[in-house]
Structure 1
């Protein structure tokens, strides 16, 4: 076999090496996450901004109103003013609360833009970073920029709760500040935003209750890897995330929570920081949390708990039932009396009507006194006296 020329052999080896390297790189990019390996992900309404220094942010329309509160710079459509006033009164309190929880100052400078519609909101977004089509709010945390819409996408029938969306997005920015941009799991990011904003509280409680009773809760490790796509599972994921953050923020654990944030800010991976701050790993904390919700979201407390809350609830149900029963009995007695009186009146009216309509031949004729003579005159009988 004839040997290839030197240059041809070199070209062949270089080409083979390049193809091999390309295959290895593609496998490395496409490979699934190893169990236990942290996955870098972010909420869809808080997208990753890899190069914030080169991002271009479009100007707001000249028709927008402008309000500068020092740390909070608002630019909004004029008709949003009345809806904003009560929210701004809470904003300072929320900022102070987050500073206490995190143990570090946050939200030194934030710009919030409020548009009329999602399309108008998208026009205010940084170039190349549009908000999700379904979103009514988005937080570009590295840019300290929040966008909100006063109306929901056409597919939605309800207008967004401006207060809830406002605080939800601000929390994303605050958490970014607190951990200095370090990665935290998506369930932690979303859970904290939902817990602080209080959005859909009763819906979340019902969802978590149903998931607990039906044993459909999702392991936090799965949520860390990827959020579900199914609509019902997404609602469970959000409800779980918010409640687990509530669990981490219990009064007795506030110092541990601040320690967790500090450790992440200093560069410790989240799972390790959580274990160091709480003295146990995520798996054991999740087990403790599941034991708690199993007690909270089952029927057993209604039957066996001696807590004041359940006693009051049961007493209220009994009192309400007795009052309702007594009220219904009084109503039935009144109806019976009214019906009896009405029946009597109808009977009397019917008798009177029958008597009035009877023919003359059927009417009673007074009897003729015996012993007196009678004569007929012009077709009528007369008694002689």
Structure 2
């Protein structure tokens, strides 16, 4: 039950590629599982499957495909030679012969193209038979985001199976991950960081045949295998890696071939590599690395942009609100002016004496007349200093003359 649980968890975290390590009688094993290899099982390729309707050949590959995978086979033929050339930068050697790739579409065709007795599990989308130099692929997986990684991973198992036998498990998985570029993933870095900080780095002699059971330990095993193989390639180059391949192919034990190729023992090289892990995967790199500096700067730039964008949106909202308030005030003012204009435009009542409409008569007192002579006053001043208002209001003259004896001047009313 524990192995089944580990397998299910690995299917979630690891690539869904399955390499059958059929090197001279060894049985297949799922990629990433903790099961040991079973010997004395031999698969015999049979005639070309009936589902195959065509063949596309390149310099070092023969691609057999079904009718549904015709287009995918032609596209793969234009890429696969370049993929194989990339193996020389890591292994320093190319494997001999022509590799056969069987390409189908969908689960039914994928299962029908498998070798007798080597049916792939239901979760697999790729399968490698290293001893027979055959790769089985579902054409749909090539269009997936990790499609190229799946292809490269299976080619790595075929390459090692054809170049030599009895490779340590950690070396096989390390080479495969360096070929596919999986070692640059964040998952690998976090696994090595956890291994260093928790002091859970495995010794490679414990990863030669067996693989850990716990999923967390499996991640560490994959990550440190990829990192150590990358370390060997960077420090010693492809030439030394090629000498290692030649020694193992000649039948030498891996440790012996390792010492001849790199002029040091596996234990000494591993010890030096382990001593430098803390400087590359501990807390210190997280605080001093240029990558972290650029990451921090990027985060700050994004935060500043978000803050500036938020301030701009707030300012636009304030401006929109102010504009709406101004428009409302303007509308209220226009309404008030209109109401005032309507009130002032109310017509006066028509005159009572029946004057024609449209004519307005002034009903108040007439204006005071202008004097005919500048030296004559319109009214005589009374002894009290008041002026008379007409014949009825006349007062006696100051000389005693009767005012009625005077010639009266007309008065305008």
Instruction: Decide which of 245, 264, 271 is 1:280's aligned counterpart.
Output: 264
Whether the 8 Å CA contact 1:137–1:147 is kept in 2: the answer is yes
The C-alpha deviation readout for 1:53-86, integer Å capped at 9, x for no partner, is: 8714352235533111142000123443444555
Q: Judging changes above 3 Å, is the alpha-carbon distance between structure 1 residues 234 and 114 closer, same or farther for their aligned structure 2 residues?
A: farther
Distance 2:138 2:173 in 1: 19
Whether the 8 Å CA contact 2:66–2:103 is kept in 1: the answer is yes
Mapping of residues 136-151 of structure 1, within 5 Å: 136-151=125-140
Q: Which residue of 2 aligns with 1:342?
A: 324
Instruction: Decide which of 165, 182, 193 is 2:176's aligned counterpart.
Output: 193
Distance 1:196 1:125 in 2: 25
Displacement of 1:129: 2.3
Q: Which residue of 2 aligns with 1:249?
A: 233
Q: Judging changes above 3 Å, is the alpha-carbon distance between structure 1 residues 324 and 86 closer, same or farther for their aligned structure 2 residues?
A: farther
Q: Could you list the runs of 5+ residues in structure 2 that have no partner in the other structure?
A: 1-16, 26-39, 353-359, 363-413
Q: Which residue of 1 aligns with 2:191?
A: 208
Whether the 8 Å CA contact 1:60–1:75 is kept in 2: the answer is no
Whether the 8 Å CA contact 2:43–2:115 is kept in 1: the answer is no
Q: Judging changes above 3 Å, is the alpha-carbon distance between structure 1 residues 47 and 255 closer, same or farther for their aligned structure 2 residues?
A: closer
The C-alpha deviation readout for 1:122-180, integer Å capped at 9, x for no partner, is: 3322222222332211111111111112357xxxxx9574322222111111112222x
Q: Judging changes above 3 Å, is the alpha-carbon distance between structure 1 residues 218 and 118 closer, same or farther for their aligned structure 2 residues?
A: farther
The alignment partner of 1:135 has SS state of: coil
Q: TM-score, normalised by structure 1?
A: 0.67
CA RMSD of aligned residues (A): 4.1
The C-alpha deviation readout for 1:319-343, integer Å capped at 9, x for no partner, is: 5554554444444333322222223
Q: Which residue of 2 aligns with 1:32?
A: none
Q: Which residue of 2 aligns with 1:271?
A: 255
Whether the 8 Å CA contact 1:148–1:165 is kept in 2: the answer is no
Q: Which residue of 1 aligns with 2:273?
A: 289
Q: TM-score, normalised by structure 2?
A: 0.63
- Which segment is superposed worse, 169-178 or 322-331? 322-331
Distance 1:54 1:299 in 2: 49
The alignment partner of 2:248 has SS state of: helix
The alignment partner of 2:114 has SS state of: coil
Q: Judging changes above 3 Å, is the alpha-carbon distance between structure 1 residues 339 and 291 closer, same or farther for their aligned structure 2 residues?
A: farther
Whether the 8 Å CA contact 2:56–2:73 is kept in 1: the answer is no
Distance 2:205 2:328 in 1: 77
Displacement of 1:184: 0.7
Distance 2:272 2:170 in 1: 17
Q: Which residue of 1 aligns with 2:152?
A: 167
Distance 2:224 2:109 in 1: 33
Q: Which residue of 2 aligns with 1:120?
A: 109
Whether the 8 Å CA contact 1:137–1:146 is kept in 2: the answer is yes
Distance 1:341 1:216 in 2: 65
Distance 2:63 2:44 in 1: 20
The alignment partner of 1:250 has SS state of: helix
Q: Judging changes above 3 Å, is the alpha-carbon distance between structure 1 residues 338 and 252 closer, same or farther for their aligned structure 2 residues?
A: farther
Task: Considering fraction of residues, name the structure with more helix.
Answer: 1
Distance 2:96 2:187 in 1: 27
The C-alpha deviation readout for 1:164-214, integer Å capped at 9, x for no partner, is: 2222111111112222xx201122112211221235853544543553465
Q: Which residue of 2 aligns with 1:47?
A: 21
Distance 1:342 1:200 in 2: 59
Whether the 8 Å CA contact 1:172–1:189 is kept in 2: the answer is yes
The alignment partner of 1:249 has SS state of: helix
Instruction: Decide which of 323, 328, 333 is 2:315's aligned counterpart.
Output: 333
Distance 1:206 1:345 in 2: 60
Whether the 8 Å CA contact 2:63–2:77 is kept in 1: the answer is no
